[in-house]
Chain A
Amino acid sequence: MDFTLSKQQQMVQKMYREFAENEVKPLAKKVDAEEYFPKETVEKMGKLGMMGIYFPTEVGGAGGDVLSYVMAVEELSKVCGTTGVIVSAHTSLCAAPIYENGTPEQKAKYLPKLCSGEWLGAFGLTEPGAGTDAQGQQTFAKQDPETGDWILNGSKIFITNAGYANVFIVIAVTDIVPDKKGRPTKQCSAFIVERTDPGFSVGKAEDKMGIRGSSTCELIFEDCRIPADRMLGVRGRGFQLAMATLDGGRIGIASQALGIAEGALEETVAYVKERKQFGRSISAFQNTQFELAEMKARVEAAKYLVYAAALKKQEAMDGKKVRYSVEAAQAKLIAARTASDVTRRCLQLFGGYGYTRDYPIERMMRDAKITEIYEGTSEVQMMVISGALLK
């Protein structure tokens, strides 16, 4: 596999680094401490094409590629995990399913505004009683026989970007049909819900351990009425659409995890060179050196998995009939574990200072944990990987 970055990929990486350093890093502490959602950063990223990196220019995208998108989430997450996931959820969980499943009208209506950052996107699958589980879904959509409108009832929880999103991809049960053995089985469909739709509201924000600036809220549907043309993809295939969407989403989260790990390592390398104990820089201690060496090797290993998943998704974008579920699951599993492991060990090297909020390392450790949980826990990733192995 060729991981040589093209000239353009090197240039976007340089641009993301400058942007992250100058625009994102200075806000990171505030984002965490005040649960501040960095709206101004989203606006700036929209202008630079960072809210629709790998979509073609015909739909308002920046005309880049999947790896360039992955590097964006990575570079942003190096300095601020919150900003990384805002881009990831928006791109992978909202713009991507519309691009991949939308009608020409839906693409024309939503993608230019999403790619420019004028509208922010979100994705609603998880419910209080159901995560990655179709039969547990309790949000129902019923069609009005006269108008063809869909009427949604139910709720979704832990929805990233919810408080600021304008467009939501929502999974709801539309049909109950007997399976082969005659048992009633739920079939889901995907819908595009706009923030202004009647009967739709956003509940209160969660008080989280990490990614504290990311707006995570409940979505509430009370006779939420939307027109018939808001159904995304094929009726009854919504759960499959959601799973395919999450395959892409997991690459984004894997990139976030990778970025957090790299960011922590960079901070730690700088710190150990400066910090002195027993009369010498702590970088002179072999324990420090070995810890750094192993962390660096693990981060690089995670990076190859994440980039490999990106290249596989690129093949799909280029029209090849390939799935990348396993690559995405492997990347997310390893990158997330690496992020948790590396941030924890980095904090240990920081010692007492690392435990204080004067340094970013404890924030990185808190931010890292979520990557093992959302968009499919590490256990779900292992189910995907082993499922393919034992098929």
Chain B
Amino acid sequence: MKAIVCVKQVPDTSGKVAVKADGTLDRASMATITNPDDLNALEAALKLKDATGCEVVVVTMGPPPAEGMLRELLARGADKAVLVSGREFGGSDTFATSQILAAAVNKIGVGPEDVVFCGRQAIDGDTAQVGPQIAEKLHLPQVTYVADIQKDGNTLTVKRMLEDGYMMVKVQTPCLLTCIKELNQPRYMSVNGIFTCYDKPMEVFDYNALKDDPLIEVDTIGLKGSPTNVFKSFTPPQKGAGTMLKGDDVAAQLAGILAKKHLI
């Protein structure tokens, strides 16, 4: 039995975000982190491992330096890592990305008892598309926005959040779940995990490793295989500054303005 976790390395948009003159992101100047929701996905997998002793495999698509992130995830308790990396994969939109990741997951192999975990969405694109699209391409049932998981044999009972409540959903393995932060509290790397993470297996899947999968075609991956294109990207203008109220009676000034504008 396996838990496969799809993760992404993202620029830390909670800090300072640098934009280049041409309106694209200056990724080089920004710190990278593991996408926060993906840590919840990993934690869900590690909880499954704690309960059943299953193997946890983390997989990411990215440039070679993403190995550093994968080592950290091994230090948190994952058993094995797969880095999907290749020039041919560059420029992929969510459709093409899920095509490639689905092929990678196929190569890792999804058994009848296995679960694929993804984060709900990545903080760079906020699309929440790759999880469901991997599920579609692997013909797996999916449950998104997962806030609780109970496992009984091959049956999972899952709490799926809605804006105004939640659904309880029953699903059989193999399946794909996308996880939200309410699901769990991700564990830290452990000291021993850190000192052993470089001894754990890390495989690199390049184009040649995946090219025999029917999902991998010239027109299904990379820029060429991406149905969507960025037409324009731009920075929104800053709204002009308003009035700074000054003096000892700022509260009275503001109340006066609001009354005058009939806002109160």
Contact = CB atoms under 8 A, between A and B. Distances in A.
A99 to B, nearest CB: 16
B72 A63 contact: no
Interface stretch (B91-99, B184-192, B204-212): B184-192
B76 to A, nearest CB: 9
B223 interface: no
B54 interface: no
B194 interface: yes
A12 interface: yes
Interface residues of A, number: 19
Nearest to A53: B191
A49 B188 contact: no
Main secondary structure of the interface of A (DSSP, over half): helix
A48 B191 contact: yes
Nearest to B185: A22
B193 to A, nearest CB: 8
B188 A7 contact: no
B188 A15 contact: yes
Contacts of A64: 191-192, 194-195
A50 interface: yes
A8 B188 contact: no
A116 to B, nearest CB: 11
A72 B190 CA distance: 12
Contacts of A50: 191
Interface string A43-59: 00001111001000100
Contacts of B191: 12, 15, 48-50, 53, 62-64, 68, 72
A12 to B, nearest CB: 5
A18 interface: yes
B198 A8 contact: yes
B71 interface: yes
B75 interface: yes
A8 B75 CA distance: 10
B196 interface: yes
A62 B191 CA distance: 6
A57 B193 CA distance: 11
Contacts of A62: 190-192, 195
B192 A49 contact: yes
B192 A57 contact: yes
Interface of B: 71-72, 75, 188-198
Interface of A: 7-8, 11-12, 14-15, 18-19, 47-50, 53, 57, 62-64, 68, 72
Given A7-B71, A11-B71, A62-B190, 7 more contacts: A14-B189, A19-B188, A48-B191, A49-B191, A49-B193, A64-B195, A68-B195
13 contacts: A8-B194, A8-B198, A11-B71, A12-B189, A12-B191, A14-B189, A15-B189, A15-B194, A47-B190, A49-B190, A49-B193, A63-B191, A63-B196
The 3 lowest CB-CB distance pairs between A and B, nearest first, are: A49-B191, A62-B191, A62-B192
